[in-house]
């Protein structure tokens, strides 16, 4: 695993000296201290936008980009937007190495830290300081905004910020005589309900706790643990007692009680294809499911045959915590149309764009959270009456937090997921011993990567 990301970069022609060259020619060596013209250059230009969305029929994300392109170009007729689908870090880094990357990028999760440290993104601090009102900055959701600050510089602004809550089948609760979940729920009430709702002979389980890396982090935080040392992202804390306790709690629900569905108990949605988490819920196989606001419309479109709602994730032994996604916008450090790129990046923070996006996705701006609830239910009548506040309260009260990433996430993430799956989800290894050894391995990999990367 050590050096995995370095090998990937070398395959893109960006290993060793080339990667160092990218950093040298990035924004720190160029125009990060130059004030942009807010109105753009006034010249006829084409801006390239890298979108994560796939350009397929009826993909709402791609449709939003097309609506945004039409509206932006109508207001700025001298600027044409050329939108590339299926954007990812590999594509962007390869484009940057060739001197032909995208002016604005739609990105998430581990992409921004990786690209910022490769030196291919623009430092936005002076742009934000001179081009945005203080009220705009304060309107961004703080946890997400801080995530886009890498090594003391701001490289991104928010696109949207989904948070996680607990989806639940109201009719199932009524049939079993179990009180509906509410904000008083803690881990004990959550577990008790799982047990009462489970009916293994009829292949029905109280909950689905098969959780990806960012999703299971909420359990760790709820128990007062961390995955990465908050003061040093080169140090893993997957071996600490609070973190292991959280993982053992998940393990016990799956393997001691089986009140949470096990991986091999999932029915098939197609031959040889285990049913995904959303379909397990909407198909009536699990009574509860932890997922984000981005799933509200897909759940509705599945047309479940039961009444459902959402509630804030149960509080842990130490605190409340929900995942906050890190979907944002960044600017290529060598854009040939800086003023116009900044104009577009600013527009993606405007009411124009949020009016398009908020019929589906939860905003990254505090002032737009109430508007989102209204717009979502106006666009999708089936969502009227749902407890959408469950998704906004974490941002409003500060307990929605982004995914913790190790410095060399790309080189360690597969190992972390494999060991978690083997121990927690498949019961093939002891949870505690596995994660104590895992933290050691992660730290060794990171030390090797750090030394090989010139201690950057």
**DSSP string for 15-78:** STHHHHHHHHTSGGGTTTTSPPPTT---S-EEEEEE-SS---TT-HHHHHHHHHHHHHHHH-TT
What percent of the chain is predicted at pLDDT more than 70? 91
pLDDT tens, residue by residue, 37-83: 567 889 999 999 999 999 998 999 999 999 999 999 999 999 999 99
Instruction: Choose which CATH entry (1.10.260.40, 3.40.50.300, 3.40.50.1980, 3.40.190.10) describes domain 4-161+328-387.
Output: 3.40.190.10
pLDDT value at 30 more than 80: no
Q: Residue 194 and residue 366: Cα distance in Å, rounded?
A: 34
User: In terms of pTM, does the model score above 0.85?
Assistant: yes
What digits encode the pLDDT tens for the residues 235-256?
A: 999 999 999 999 999 999 999 9
d(CA 55, CA 282): 26
pLDDT score at 39: 76
Structure tokens at 445: 């990999």
Question: pLDDT at position 104, please?
Answer: 98
User: Phi and psi dihedrals of 28, rounded to 5?
Assistant: -65, -25
CB atoms within 10 A of CB 166: 20
Q: Which residue has the tokens 């935080």?
A: 221
Domain chopping of the chain, boundaries: 4-161+328-387, 164-323+406-452
Distance CA 55, CA 274 (A): 26
- pLDDT of residue 27 exceeding 50: no
Q: Secondary structure of the chain: what % helix, strand, coil (to 5)?
A: 50, 15, 35
- The predicted-structure confidence for 331-380, as pLDDT tens digits, reads as follows 999 999 999 999 999 999 999 999 999 999 999 999 999 999 999 999 99
Superfamily of domain 164-323+406-452: Periplasmic binding protein-like II (3.40.190.10)
| pLDDT tops 90 at residue 12 | no
| pLDDT single digits (tens) 373-410 | 999 999 999 999 999 999 999 999 999 999 999 999 99
Decide if 4-161+328-387 and 164-323+406-452 have a common fold.
yes
């Amino acid at each position: 695993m050590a050096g995995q990301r370095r090998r990937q970069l070398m395959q893109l022609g960006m290993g060793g000296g080339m990667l160092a060259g990218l950093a040298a020619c990035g924004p720190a060596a160029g125009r990060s201290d130059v004030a942009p013209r807010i109105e753009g250059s006034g010249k006829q230009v084409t801006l390239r936008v890298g979108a994560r969305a796939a350009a397929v029929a009826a993909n709402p994300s791609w449709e939003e980009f097309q609506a945004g392109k039409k509206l932006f170009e109508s207001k700025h007729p001298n600027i044409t937007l050329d939108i590339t689908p299926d954007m990812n870090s590999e594509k962007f880094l390869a484009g940057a190495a060739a001197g032909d990357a995208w002016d604005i990028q739609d990105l998430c999760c581990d992409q921004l830290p990786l690209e910022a440290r490769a030196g291919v993104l623009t430092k936005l601090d002076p742009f934000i300081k001179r081009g945005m009102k203080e009220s705009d900055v304060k309107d961004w959701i703080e946890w997400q905004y801080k995530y886009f600050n890498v090594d003391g510089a701001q490289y991104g602004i928010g696109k949207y910020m989904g948070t996680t809550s607990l989806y639940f089948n109201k009719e199932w609760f009524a049939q079993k005589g179990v009180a509906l979940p509410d904000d008083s729920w803690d881990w004990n009430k959550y577990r008790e309900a799982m047990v009462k709702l489970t009916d293994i002979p009829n292949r029905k389980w109280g909950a689905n706790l098969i959780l990806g890396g960012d999703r299971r982090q909420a359990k760790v935080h709820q128990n007062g643990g961390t995955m990465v040392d908050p003061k040093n992202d080169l140090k893993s804390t997957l071996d600490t007692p609070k973190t292991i306790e959280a993982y053992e709690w998940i393990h016990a629900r799956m393997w001691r009680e089986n009140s949470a569905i096990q991986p091999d108990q999932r029915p098939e949605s197609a031959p040889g294809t285990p049913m995904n988490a959303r379909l397990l819920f909407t198909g009536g196989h699990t009574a509860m499911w932890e997922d984000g606001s981005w799933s509200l419309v897909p759940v509705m479109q599945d047309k479940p045959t039961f009444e459902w709602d959402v509630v804030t994730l149960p509080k842990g032994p130490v605190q409340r915590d929900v995942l906050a996604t890190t979907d944002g916008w960044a600017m290529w450090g060598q854009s040939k149309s800086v003023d116009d790129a900044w104009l577009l990046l600013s527009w993606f923070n405007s009411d124009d764009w949020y009016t398009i996006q908020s019929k589906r996705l939860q905003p990254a701006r505090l002032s737009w959270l109430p508007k989102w609830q209204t717009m979502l239910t106006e666009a999708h009548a089936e969502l009227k009456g749902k407890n959408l506040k469950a998704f906004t309260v974490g941002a409003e009260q500060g307990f929605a937090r982004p995914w913790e990433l190790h410095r060399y996430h790309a080189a360690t993430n597969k190992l972390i997921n494999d060991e978690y799956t083997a121990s927690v989800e498949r019961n093939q290894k002891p949870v505690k011993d596995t994660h104590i050894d895992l933290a050691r391995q992660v730290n060794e990999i990171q030390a090797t990567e750090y030394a090989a990367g010139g201690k950057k």
